[in-house]
Structure 1
C-alpha cells in the first residue's frame, strides 16, 4: 500500500502530461499529414518560409510550386505549413 501512495502522484502527473501535451501534438501531426496527402494541383499553400504559392505538380515526396508566372520551384512536402484560404 505504501508504494501505491508514493507512485500515485507520478501516475497522475503522467496522465496530465499526456492529455495536455502529448495527445494534442499527435492530433495536430495527424491532421497535418492528412492535409499533405490531400494536396492537389492548383491548391494554394503557405510554406514554412511564409511564401504563398500554387501547386504546379505533385510528386511522391516533392511538390513543384509556382511562385509567379515565370518561377517554378521544387520543395519537399515537409516545407508546407498549411493550405492558404483567401480571406474573401
Structure 2
C-alpha cells in the first residue's frame, strides 16, 4: 500500500531542472519589488523627513517628545535639547526623542 502511494507521488512530481528553478525563483523578484515600494521606500522617506525636522530645530519651536510632553525649545545642542514644559519647568531631552515639531497655532490647517 505504501509503495503504491510513493510510486504515484513520484510519477506526479514535477521534473527537476533549470526551468523549474527559474520558475520558482522568478516569483521572488516581484515580491521584492512590492516589498520595496510598499514598505521600505515609505519608511525611508519618513525617516529622512524626521531627520530634516530635527536638524532644522531651533529656539522657540514647540515640540512633542516621545514621552508625550509638549514644550518650547530653549536651546539646541548636537545631541540634546533643553525644553520648557511649563513656566519654570525645564528639562533636557535627547534630540532623537523629539517626535514632532508642532506648527504655530495661527497657521492654516492642512485640510483647508
Give the structure-1-normalised TM-score. 0.92
Runs of 4+ residues over 6 Å off in structure 1: none
Q: Which has the larger radius of gyration?
A: 2
Q: 1:7 aligns with which of 19, 25, 34?
A: 25
Deviation at 1:24, TM superposition (A): 0.5
Aligned length: 88
User: 2:75 aligned with 1:44, yes or no?
Assistant: no
Structure 1 portions without partners, runs of 5+: none
- Residue number among 27, 32, 42 corresponding to 1:24 in the alignment: 42
Counterparts of 2:104 and 2:59, CA distance in 1: 17
- Which segments of 5 or more consecutive residues in structure 2 lack a partner in the other structure? 1-17, 107-112
Q: What secondary structure sits across from 2:81 in the alignment?
A: strand
TM, length-normalised to structure 2: 0.74
State the distance in 2 between where 1:64 and 1:51 align.
13
User: Post-superposition shift, 1:11?
Assistant: 1.0
Q: 1:81 aligns with which of 75, 99, 102?
A: 99
Cα distance in structure 1, aligned partners of 2:51 and 2:76: 15
